[in-house]
Chains A and B, each alone.
Chain A
């Protein structure tokens, strides 16, 4: 059973556009929600993370929106660039640090 559901599986966006990736979860014990970025041939690296006591977190062009009541969170990439082309994973963590990952979104930004 997938603990964290991620969509879409793939996404193509024009340069300068907004990329949006969505995730949903069921377990209300989750208290940490990171997003990881993975380039081909590399391991995933933390991009941005949020805890459920805030509804939004912004770092540069990357924003997490968090809706606790709907048990959903999303990643918004503003002014998307070709260098943002990568696979993105959402995740959720329970106390004790076990992470549950989404299935990933392959983002392609077209110049």
Chain B
């Protein structure tokens, strides 16, 4: 079975802190994605990557950056966390044109 793991299930940070969210997949998938999930807004794409060291902006990239140094790992970085970044963050991976597999999510609270 495909497994997508995220480094933390729950995270509490303070405004202005730098936050790293890590995602690892074990199926050699080319594509990896970061979404945030908010009630009434569904899943919104932050960034995605089709290959190592490659990244593309999604619909809401402001305030975020990403890093993909290895194929299996995709990191989301909040350079200076703000309260409006309190959300559920979901990582996903997929092969080309096949379903996306999601991790369990990280619920981030910024105080």
Contact = CB atoms under 8 A, between A and B. Distances in A.
Query: Which residue of A6, A32, A41, A44 has the most chain B CB atoms within 10 A of its CB atom?
Result: A44
A30 to B, nearest CB: 13
Given A6-B42, A42-B104, A104-B42, 4 more contacts: A44-B43, A46-B100, A95-B97, A99-B45
A49 B40 CA distance: 23
A43 to B, nearest CB: 3
Please tell me the size bucket of the interface on A: 20 to 34
Interface string B83-97: 000000010101011
A89 interface: yes
A43 B103 contact: yes
B104 A41 contact: yes
Interface of B: 4, 31, 33, 35, 40-45, 48, 58, 90, 92, 94, 96-105
Contacts of A103: 40-42
B97 A97 contact: yes
Contact of B102 (A32, A41, A45, A100): A45
A49 B99 contact: yes
Nearest to A41: B104
Contacts of A49: 99
A101 B48 contact: no
Contacts of A100: 45
Interface string A88-99: 010001010111
